[in-house]
Amino acid sequence: MATEITMPQLGESVTEGTITKWLVQPGDKVNKYDPLAEVMTDKVNAEVPSSYTGTIGELIAAEDEKVEVGQVICTMEVEGAAKSKSTESAPGKQSQKPDSPEDTKKAEDKSSAGRYSPAVLKLAQENDIDLTGLDGSGRGGRITRKDILAAIEDGAGAKSETPQTEASADRPKPADMPVQSQGRASVPTGRTEEIPVTGVRKAIAQNMTASKREAPHAWMMVEVDVTDLVRLRDKKKADFQKQEGFKLTYLPFFMQAVVDALKVYPQVNSKWDGDKIIRYKDVHLSMAVATEEELFVPVIKNADEKNIKGLARSLNEIAGKVRSRSLSSEDMQGGTFTLNNTGSFGSVQSQPIINTPQAAILSVESIVKRPVVLDNDAIAVRHIVNLCMSLDHRVLDGYICGKFMNHIKTSLENMNESSVSIY
C-alpha cells in the first residue's frame, strides 16, 4: 500500500507552498532525508525532504501548483512496509482482501467538502465554475486547484443560472466589440512574449501588493556627506581583503550606523500587530539581496552585537547562500528592520516598499561626487549619498523618523580612522 507524502509546514504561520520543481520522478529510489521537491512559500524557498526510504509512486501535485500544508503531494512505496502487514494474503490465494474500516472511512470522508481556499474561490469565479457540482480530491473531500483546472479542461461545472434571451443572444459580447466601444485604449498588436509568473516572482508580487494595501506608506530622504567614510574604506579595503579573504564594501558601515540608531530609537524597531505595536529589544537586520530574477531578504540575527568586521562577514555569508540557493527557512525569519542597498544598481533616489509587518525600511543609494557649499561658503567636491526611508504611518510618525535619520546621518558623517574600529 502506497504511503502518502504531504506538504510540510516550512515556517511559522505558513499555510501553503508552491512546488517549483520536482527533484524526483515516479520509480525513483530515495533514501530518508533525500530532497523530493523545491517548494516556495511567502517566507522562504526550501526543499521537502523524504521521511522514508522507498520508491516514488505518483506525483500528485504539479509544478507551480499551490498546495496547502497537510495536502498530499506524492505517494511512495515505503521500504519494509509490506513486511509489517500482519494480515497479508497468503501466496496463491485468489480472494481479494476487503477494504479495511480505515479505507472505507477515508473514502467516505467529506468533512471538508464545503470549505474552499481563497485560491480555489478566485479560480472558480474567474472561470464561472459552480463548486457545488464538483467532487473534491483533497483531504476530507476538499476541492483543490487541480480539481478546478480539470473542470475547466472538461468544460464541466459551468454555471447556467440565467437562460440567454433572444435579444441577449444577438448582443455582441465584450470580446467581440471594438476596442473603442469598451472605453479602453487600443491594445498594441506588435510581437509579444508571454512569461508565466511562478516561483519567487509570484511570492514577491503577493507580498509587495499586500504591503502597499495594508500599510499606509510615508517616506523621507536625507543627504549625507560620506567623504571621510570613503577615505577610510579606501585606506582599509586592501588589508581587510588580504586578512579576511573577502571584500570590505561600504554596506557594513551603513549597517552599523543603522543598528546604532535603532538602539537609540527603538520605536523604529517595531511591527504592527492588529490592535497593538510590538517593539523588539534585539536588532535582527533583514538585508534585501537581489538576483536577476529574484529578491530574497535573509536576516542577520543579533546585528547589534557585531562590529563592522562581524557585519561584513555575516553579509558575505548570506550573499553566498543566495548565490548558491542554499538559504534555509531559518535564514529568512525573524527580521525586525530591513536595509536595502539600491545604490549597487546605480540608483540615487527611491521609495522602498515596507517588508511588512516591520515598521520601516531604509534604502542606501549610490555614493556620488557633487559640488557642495561648505560652512565657510567655499565650494568643494564631496562624496554624497541619499538615504531613503519608508515608514508605516500606523506605527511611526515623521518626528521620530526624522530624529532616527538624523542620527544615522551624524554617525556616517563622523566615520573616520580615529572614530571607527573595524575589528
Contact between residue 20 and residue 199 where contact means Cβ atoms under 8 Å apart: yes
Residue 299 has what DSSP assignment? E
- Assess whether 393 carries a catalytic annotation: yes
Q: What is the mean pLDDT of residues 222-245?
A: 96
pLDDT in tens, 271-281: 999 889 999 99
Q: 347: buried, middle or exposed (CB in 10 Å: 19+, 13-18, 0-12)?
A: middle
Average pLDDT of the chain to the nearest whole number: 82
Rounded CA separation 210/218 (Å): 16
Reported in sequence order, the residue ranges of 52-119 that DSSP labels E, i.e. its strands, are 54-59, 65-68, 72-78
All domains of the chain, ordered by start, with CATH?
Answer: 3-81 (2.40.50.100), 216-413 (3.30.559.10)
148, 44, 291, 300 alpha-carbon torsion, rounded to 10°:
160
- Compare 128 and 345 and report the one with higher pLDDT: 345
Q: How far apart are the first and last CA of the chain?
A: 60
The pLDDT value recorded for residue 13 is: 61
Give the least confident one: 19-33, 303-317, 360-374. Answer: 19-33
- Assess whether 284 carries a catalytic annotation: no
* SS3 call for 334: coil
Single out the residue of 326, 257, 262, 252 nearest to residue 296, CA to CA: 326
pLDDT in tens, 176-190: 444 444 444 555 667
Rounded CA separation 166/177 (Å): 18
Max mean pLDDT range (23-32, 292-301, 408-417):
408-417
Single out the residue of 74, 26, 71 nearest to residue 49, CA to CA: 74
* Confidence bin at 167 (pLDDT 50/70/90): very low
Catalytic site residue from 64, 234, 393, 407 = 393
Catalytic site residue from 103, 273, 282, 397 = 397
> Is 0.85 surpassed by the pTM of this model?
no
* Confidence bin at 169 (pLDDT 50/70/90): very low
Phi, psi of 129 (to 5 degrees): -100, 130
